[in-house]
Amino acid sequence: MKASERVAACAERLAAELHGLADKPEETPETTLCALSYLASGNPISAAAASELPLPPLSQEAIDRLEHLVTQRLAGIPLAHLTGRQRFMELEFLSGSEALIPRRETELLGGAALEVLRESARRSVVPVAIDVCTGSGNLALAMAHHERKARVLASDLSADAIALARRNASALLLEDRVDFREGDLLAPFDTPEFHAQVDLLLCNPPYISSKKVDVMPEEIAHYEPRIAFDGGPLGIRIVQRLIDEAPQFLRPGGWLAFEVGLGQGPAIVRRLQRTGAFEDVRSIPDDQGQIRAVLARR
């Protein structure tokens, strides 16, 4: 079989058998084929990057690798784990099983958070941003990249996630811009240095209820860390802690910003309004009008 015919056969397999996830809209059969082709040729890129490039020329040996990669992808291994790459807020991140794969939907949170961080940067010489549940470091590093004035810190309970975040910082030449710390939520920052001193407290928390985690698609449940999804019996355990603990750290006028699960937004907005600790609560909807991020000003 000719090389072109073998590549076409891979494309047909992906078109017929690939069942992508709604939270990764950039992963189509076409972008998957292109990303895997670049990986087979020794140049790993994300699906988003692949959408901007033509298919690369492949040797027979590279096509052998491509066919094997297509089989692995169709068996359920996430594309970002095969390529080791995922784009987020215009940056190419390293991706692996150590942390949640950054999702396009989280860019809603990232964009809104960056806007208020830039507002703080116009008022402060060095605004302070802390990202908890940082995972691969995508939000923290995006803040550091896009707002150069900010001092950015981040934490995660998982040592493996922190190690991945630090590798991302090095790959993006931001290792001197973000201070990554291992620990539970805000515990690594519970010192007078940060009490009432934070301009932006940012989090993409686990927000899936424990029972629903057990029935998530295999591509998620088998390959991404449960700790990144499991938000307790109702899915809001970490969010509740965040709302309770944030006022101690935020300066007057500082912002709390976090992602929420489908259907959780209205109740969480009401909870924030009832606390009396926040004076401006904003909800960020997705294209379907569902609240996917919430911001609250101290």
Domain locations along the chain? 3-83, 106-297
* HSE-up of residue 46 (Cα within 13 Å, Cβ side): 21
Q: Which of 103-117, 151-165, 207-221 has the lowest mean pLDDT?
A: 207-221
* SS3 category, 134: coil
Distance CA 83, CA 261 (A): 27
Per the structure block, which two tokens stand in for 232?
């307790």
In the predicted model, what is the mean pLDDT of the chain? 95
- Classified by CATH at the fold level, domain 106-297 comes out as Rossmann fold (3.40.50)
Q: How far apart are CA 268 and CA 105, in angstroms?
A: 18
Q: What pLDDT, on the 0 to 100 scale, is given for residue 26?
A: 96
pLDDT, mean of residues 140-166: 98
pLDDT score of 213: 87
- Decide the pairing of beta strands 128-132 and 198-203: parallel
Say what the pLDDT of residue 243 is: 97
Q: Give 198's pLDDT tier (boundaries 50, 70, 90).
A: very high
Q: Considering the entire predicted model, what is its pTM?
A: 0.95
46 neighbors 53 (Cβ within 8 angstroms):
no
Asked if residue 124 has pLDDT above 90, the reply is no
Confidence label for 125 from pLDDT (cuts 50, 70 and 90): confident
Number of alpha carbons in the 13 Å side-chain half-sphere of residue 149: 13
Structure confidence at residue 123 (pLDDT): 86
When pLDDT is cut at 50, 70 and 90, the band that residue 182 belongs to is: very high
Q: What percent of the chain has pLDDT over 70?
A: 100
CB-based contact 164:94 (threshold 8 Å): yes
The C-alpha atoms of residue 136 and residue 273 are separated, in whole angstroms, by 31
pLDDT band, very low/low/confident/very high, at 129 (cuts 50, 70, 90): very high
Tell me, what's the pLDDT at 2? Answer: 84
What pLDDT shows up at residue 3?
Answer: 84
Range 254-265 average pLDDT: 96
What is the total residue count of the chain?
Answer: 298
